[in-house]
Amino acid sequence: MAELYDLVIIGGGPGGYNGAIRAGQLGLKVACIEKGKTLGGTCLNVGCIPSKALLHASEAFEDVSGHYGDLGIKTTGLALDLDKMMAAKTETVDGLTKGIAFLFKKNKVEHITGTGCIAGTGQVEVTDAKGKKSILQTKNTVIATGSEVTPLPGVEIDEKRIVSSTGALSLTKVPKSMVVIGAGVIGLELGSVWRRLGTKVSVVEYLPRILPGADGEIAKQAARIFKRQGFDFHLGMKVTGVEKLKSKLKLTMEPANGGEAQTLEAETVLVCIGRRPFTQGLGLEEAGVKTDARGFIETDHWKTGAPGIWAVGDCTRGPMLAHKAEEEGVACAEAIAGKAAHVNYGVIPGVVYTAPEIAWVGRTEEELKSAGIAYKKGAFPFSANSRARANHATQGFVKVLADATTDEILGVHMMGPNVSEMIGEAALAMEFRAASEDIARTCHAHPTLSEALRQAAMGVEGWTMQM
C-alpha cells in the first residue's frame, strides 16, 4: 500500500514552497513536486530575485558614474563587467534556491522532481525527467503552478533578440537600443536595468499612462522622472508587429484609438504585457476544477470546487506577486491543518523597484472616488525630508489617504528613496486598522526617511511641518 500524504503540492514557487514548509511545521506529511531543476519558481529563478540583483548592481553603476559626483566622490576608469554582474546575480539565485531545499529538509518536506498532474480523486501522478511515472496517494492536493509570459500575437519571442523578462535577465551584451512593449512593472524595472548600463530604451504602452494599477498622481510624476532619465515613452500606442531584419528589429505600432502607423527600430525588443496563469497538463477539467475566462483557477478560500483540491498563487485571481502567493500558500496549509486561516487581501503592498522606488498599499485615490468613499489626504515631499536632503535623493513624495469620518487609513502611496522598505510600516498600520493620527502621533527617529510618512499622516489633519 502506497504512503498516504496529508497534502501534495504541485509547484515549488513562493505559493508552493511556503505552503509546504508551513505544512511541515504543522506536522503534516507533505510532498512538493517541482518540474524545474531548482526550487523557488519564477520568483527565485527568473523573477523577483535576479531582477532585483540586476537592479541593485545597475543602480550602483549609475550612481558611481553620476550621482556620487554630487557627493564629492570622484571616480575614474569606471568600467562595466557584465559577465561578473550576471555571475553575481546567478550566485545569489543559486544560494537562495539551495536555501529552500535546506528548509524543506529541516521541515520534513519531501521534494519530488518531476511534473505533477491530477490523476483521480486523491491521486497525483508524477512524471520524472526520463518519463517514468509514479502515483502519490494524498488527502489534499494544492495547485501552485504559477504563471507564464502572455504572448503578443505577431511578435515571436526567441529569448535572444525578441525577449521576455527571462531573456532580458540574461543578455550577454548591452544592447545599443531596446524597445519595451508594456509600461508595467517589468517594463520599467528591466528597462531601467538596461538604460543604466547604456541602452537607449523606448517604451510602447497601449494605455495613455504608465503603471496601470498604481495611484494616478504617482504614475504621472513617475513618468516625468523616468522621461528625464532617458526613457522614451510612446503612450496610447499598440504594437502590430515586429520584423526581424538582419542587423535590427523593426517594430510597427499604431495609435490605440486608430491612426497612422509608425515604426521604431531597435537591437532588442522586450515583450512584457503581463503574465497569464499556467495550468497546462494538470488534468483540471477531468478533475472537475473550474477556471474563469482568463484561465485563473476559481477558488473560495483557496478551495476549488473539486473535493480535496486547493489552489494558490499566480494561477488564481489577484495580484501576481510573490508575497501574495506566499500568504496564500501558508493560509492554505493552515486551513488543511484545521486552523483558522486568513489572508487580508486589502493589505497586500505593491512595489516597483525603479529609482526612485514606487510603493503602495490599500486603495488609490481613483478607487476611492469610484467607490464613492469620502477621504482626507495628507502628502509630504522628500525634498522637505532632512535625511533625503542629506542623501541628495529628494525625488518623490508620500501620500496618506484616510476615511473622512473615522480617520482609518485607506491607502498609502509613496515614490522615493527606500520606499520599498517604508511601505511595511504603512501595511502594518493598516493591518491593525490604524487611524492616520496613530502614525502622526508615533515618534519616528530623526533624521530618517520614514519621517516623511509621519509628516504625510500629520498632513491629513493639516499640521504637516514643512518649510
Q: Tell me: does residue 11 bind ligand NAD (CB under 6 A).
A: no
Smallest distance from ligand FAD to CB 284, Å: 11
Task: For residues 72 and 75, give the distance between their C-alpha atoms in angstroms, rounded to a whole number.
Answer: 10
Residue from 24, 122, 146, 182 in contact with ligand FAD (CB under 6 A)? 146
Question: Could you say which residues in the range 5-24 bind ligand FAD, by CB under 6 A?
Answer: 10-16
Residue from 21, 315, 321, 414 in contact with ligand NAD (CB under 6 A)? 321
Residue nearest to ligand NAD (CB): 184
Q: Tell me: does residue 282 bind ligand NAD (CB under 6 A).
A: no
* Residue 182 contacts which entry, ligand NAD, ligand FAD, none (Cβ below 5-8 A, type-dependent): ligand NAD
Question: Could you say which residues in the range 256-275 bind ligand NAD, by CB under 6 A?
Answer: 272-275
Torsion of CA 304, 306, 311, 316, to 10 degrees: -50
Task: For residues 411 and 453, give the distance between their C-alpha atoms in angstroms, rounded to a whole number.
Answer: 12
Count of residues that interact with ligand NAD, criterion CB under 6 A: 26
Question: Could you say which residues in the range 150-209 bind ligand FAD, by CB under 6 A?
Answer: 165, 186
In the bound state with ligand NAD, the residue whose beta carbon lies nearer, of 118 and 214, is: 214
Smallest distance from ligand FAD to CB 217, Å: 23
Span interacting with ligand FAD, options 44-52, 333-341, 368-376, 378-386, rule CB under 6 A: 44-52
The verdict on whether 234 is a catalytic residue reads: no
Q: Tell me: does residue 109 bind ligand NAD (CB under 6 A).
A: no
Residue from 58, 97, 115, 385 in contact with ligand FAD (CB under 6 A)? 115
Q: CB of 414 within 8 A of CB of 398?
A: yes
Q: Tell me: does residue 321 bind ligand FAD (CB under 6 A).
A: yes
Q: CB of 322 within 8 A of CB of 47?
A: yes
Kindly provide the b/e burial profile for residues 120-147, where b requires at least 16 CB atoms within 10 angstroms of the residue's own CB. Answer: eebbbbbbeeeeeeeebebebbbbbbbb
The footprint of ligand FAD (CB under 6 A) covers: 10-16, 33-36, 41-43, 47-48, 51, 115-117, 144-147, 165, 186, 278, 281-282, 313-314, 320-323, 325
- Active site (catalytic) residues: 446
The footprint of ligand NAD (CB under 6 A) covers: 152, 181-187, 189, 204-207, 212, 238-239, 272-275, 319-321, 351-353
